[in-house]
Amino acid sequence: MKIVNPEGLDLKDRVVHISRVAKVVKGGRRFSFSAVVVIGDALGHVGTGLGKANEVPDAIRKAVQNARRVLIKVPLVEGTLPYEVIGEFGASKVIMRPASPGTGVIAGGGVRAVIESAGISNILTKSLGSNNPHNLVKATINGLSQLQTPEQVRAIRGPREEEASV
């Protein structure tokens, strides 16, 4: 997984989930907020972040800052993935399959937010296990970070036999 510098990218953020959490103290409950945000430029760059604060806007701002730190580049082939991949995080598992043009984004919740922010326009997904939004987003990012371009795969495998013998 190669982290990308966010400078010069036109990143848009999407709030996936905001949860109100309570800390019980002697005088009652203290409420704060936790926000999961996905950022991307729809050209193959995507990142996710978690922010926690006493107010919702502060939590979202922190989440966006965290997402900018872990931006990754997703290899795209004609608006879809180069091959099928499975991402896992915690008890969540996301299966992502390339789809033919015109299929659209078949995904829900946090998975859809990550896929659309990355700029993938045709994909089939299935989420298994936990449907916790934070875990689903992380599992999707995990799967996308496993992808490699055909050139990277060729470099790892080395030259073909017929090329090597010539």
Q: Where does the pLDDT of residue 64 fall: very low under 50, low under 70, confident under 90, or very high at 90 and above?
A: very high
Question: Are the beta carbons of 88 and 145 closer than 8 angstroms?
Answer: no
Q: Tell me, what's the pLDDT at 4?
A: 74
Q: How far is CA 149 from the centre of its chain?
A: 17
Q: What is the pLDDT of residues 114-135, one digit of tens each?
A: 999 999 999 999 999 999 999 9
pTM: 0.89
User: 92 or 1: which carries more pLDDT confidence?
Assistant: 92
Q: What is the pLDDT of residues 78-112, one digit of tens each?
A: 889 999 999 999 999 999 999 999 999 999 888 99
Mean pLDDT of the chain: 90
- Domains parsed from the chain with CATH numbers: 12-72 (3.30.160.20), 75-155 (3.30.230.10)
The answer to whether residue 18 scores a pLDDT higher than 90 is yes
Per-residue pLDDT averaged across 4-30, rounded? Answer: 89
Q: Tell me, what's the pLDDT at 3?
A: 74
The answer to whether residue 44 scores a pLDDT higher than 70 is yes
- Alpha carbon separation from 14 to 46, 74, 109 (Å, rounded): 11, 18, 11
pLDDT more than 70, % of the chain: 96
- Residue 29 CB coordination number (10 Å): 9
Whole-angstrom distance, CA of residue 116 vs CA of residue 46? 9
